[in-house]
Amino acid sequence: MGYAGLNPMTWMDDDLGALRERDRLRMPSILAYRDATHATLEGREVTVLCGNDYLGLRHHPELLRAANHATNEHGSGAGASRLVSGHLSFHQDVEEYFARHLGAGSSLLSASGYGANVGALAALLSSDDVVFSDALNHASLIDGIRLSRAQVVVVPHNDVDALRKAVRATTRHRRAWIITESLFSMDGDLSPMAEIEEIAFEHGCQRYVDEAHAIGVIGPEGRGLCHGMANPPDVRMIGFGKALGGSGALLAGPGSLRPWLWNHSRSFIFSTGIAPGPAAAARRASDLIASDPSLLQGLRTNIAVLHQALNSVGITTLATHPAVPILPVIIGDDRRAVEVGRALLERGYFVHPIRPPTVPVGTARLRITVSAAHDPDELRAFAGVLAEVLS
């Protein structure tokens, strides 16, 4: 090959231009938050209705105090991979706490839910395994499965009959896994956990469930959809970045899960341990949710208020469950979704439009989320403005 000269990577600009052309360009908005649900965006005061801080906890003084205390006591970071010198007494305490809190044999912290899913799945599955993966599973589940090279059967979303059929039809494998989310982030529906348990029991499948959006809001004291099941899933991923108001995650499972992942999960072995601050905040958040029922009550009231307000102006959402704070409104066309998002912004409401590839083509949507921190009157006013914008 001859000398070709320096490549200034103009192909990147071409690619970005093509995405812009198709209304698929992703750009983060810059927000300056005043509290859990109000921010300044592009010089405008807006009410945010697309975050995952469902309980409005990330500015809660108790969480800030817990995070600051842990940072002062144990440092701003773990200082190394935990297997080297970054396994602090603090990590040990938080993991024991969460194992008890979730009724699990053991738990293992991770600096992110993405890393937890990719690292755990790439380790737990192998090319000798078969995976039944819900069609709407999160990118981190898909990527972990891909890395493992397991045989994948994508099952239509929440379709129990299709799952049963697929499991029955598959024979040659070392282990079979059913992998799903418990509360789906983009559709706001719950997974049929009892039926999945039954199928797993009949066919000896293992279950891996991502509780990222359910934790803090669903189940007894917000301990997740799987909490209290006679036979909970083998592995649960608990995210700290949504209702728990922080960042990081945790994998919960049998007693052997933690030492097994120490030895096999590359995102654990080759990554710095979670910083003390976020882990302490997540622990404090779990305690608060369990000890103060008014938090969940406030959220449920606000969900009911928005449901009712949207209903009264004739707006249909995908939401079906009264405890789920995600109320998606399907727009369909990408450009229209962007226009609706922009029109809302001009009227003081921020709902980031979600487009493919995050959601299937033709289902661009407003993923409206409710927080306990919203004012009910503000939710009612929003419904009226949305109706006006959509008309």
Ligand X SMILES: Cc1ncc(COP(=O)(O)O)c(C=O)c1O
Pick 133 or 185: Cβ nearer ligand X: 185
Pick 185 or 317: Cβ nearer ligand X: 185
Pick 186 or 364: Cβ nearer ligand X: 186
Q: x/- contact string, 315-334, with ligand X (CB under 6 A)?
A: --------------------
289 in Cβ contact with 283 (< 8 Å): no
Active site (annotated) includes residue 117:
no
Neighbours of 84 (CB within 10 A): 12
Q: Which stretch in 97-105, 109-117, 163-171, 269-277 sits in contact with ligand X by CB under 6 A? A: 109-117
Q: What is the DSSP string of 313-335?
A: TT---S---TT--EEEEEEESHH
Pick 106 or 182: Cβ nearer ligand X: 182
Cα separation, 141 vs 134, whole angstroms: 10
| Omega of the bond leading into 353 within 30 degrees of 0 (cis) | no
The active-site residue out of 53, 134, 187, 210 is: 210
Q: Which stretch in 30-38, 112-120, 348-356, 361-369 sits in contact with ligand X by CB under 6 A? A: 112-120
Of 318, 343, 346, the C-alpha closest to 332 is: 318
Look up tokens 């962007």; give the residue: 338
31 in Cβ contact with 45 (< 8 Å): no
Q: Which residue lies nearest ligand X, judged by its C-beta?
A: 113
Neighbours of 336 (CB within 10 A): 14
The residue type of 152 is: V
Active site (annotated) includes residue 181:
yes
- Does residue 265 interact with ligand X by CB under 6 A? no
The residue type of 4 is: A
Cα distances from 38 to residues 15, 35, 348, 373, in angstroms, run 34, 5, 10, 10
Active site (annotated) includes residue 52:
yes
Burial track 274-286 (b if 16+ CB lie within 10 A, e otherwise) = bbbbbbbbbbbbb
Active site (annotated) includes residue 148:
no
Burial track 25-49 (b if 16+ CB lie within 10 A, e otherwise) = eeeeeeeeeeebbbbebeeeebbbb
Which of 138, 283, 352, 365 is in the footprint of ligand X by CB under 6 A? 138
Q: Which stretch in 67-75, 124-132, 144-152, 206-214 sits in contact with ligand X by CB under 6 A? A: 206-214
Enumerate residues 6+ apart whose C-beta is below 8 A from 213: 52, 181, 182, 183, 184, 185, 239, 242, 243, 326
Residues binding ligand X: number (CB under 6 A): 14
Active site (annotated) includes residue 242:
yes
The active-site residue out of 181, 197, 211, 234 is: 181
Of 181, 191, 138, the C-alpha closest to 359 is: 138
- Does residue 114 interact with ligand X by CB under 6 A? yes
Pick 181 or 309: Cβ nearer ligand X: 181
SS3 letters for 41-106? ECCEEEEECCCCCCCCCCCCHHHHHHHHHHHHHHCCCCCCEHHHHHCCHHHHHHHHHHHHHHCCCE
- Does residue 140 interact with ligand X by CB under 6 A? yes
Report in angstroms how near the CB of residue 116 gets to ligand X at its nearest. 7
The active-site residue out of 52, 110, 158, 302 is: 52
Report in angstroms how near the CB of residue 141 gets to ligand X at its nearest. 7
Which of 53, 187, 210, 234 is in the footprint of ligand X by CB under 6 A? 210
Which residues, numbered 229-258, are part of the site for ligand X (CB under 6 A)? Answer: 239, 241, 249
Which of 112, 133, 271, 363 is in the footprint of ligand X by CB under 6 A? 112
Active site (annotated) includes residue 210:
yes
- Does residue 349 interact with ligand X by CB under 6 A? no
The active-site residue out of 213, 227, 352, 374 is: 213
The active-site residue out of 137, 185, 191, 286 is: 185
Which residues, numbered 157-186, are part of the site for ligand X (CB under 6 A)? Answer: 181, 185
Active site (annotated) includes residue 231:
no
Which sequence positions are flagged as catalytic?
52, 138, 181, 185, 210, 213, 242
Binding site for ligand X (CB under 6 A): 112-114, 117, 138, 140, 181, 185, 210, 212-213, 239, 241, 249
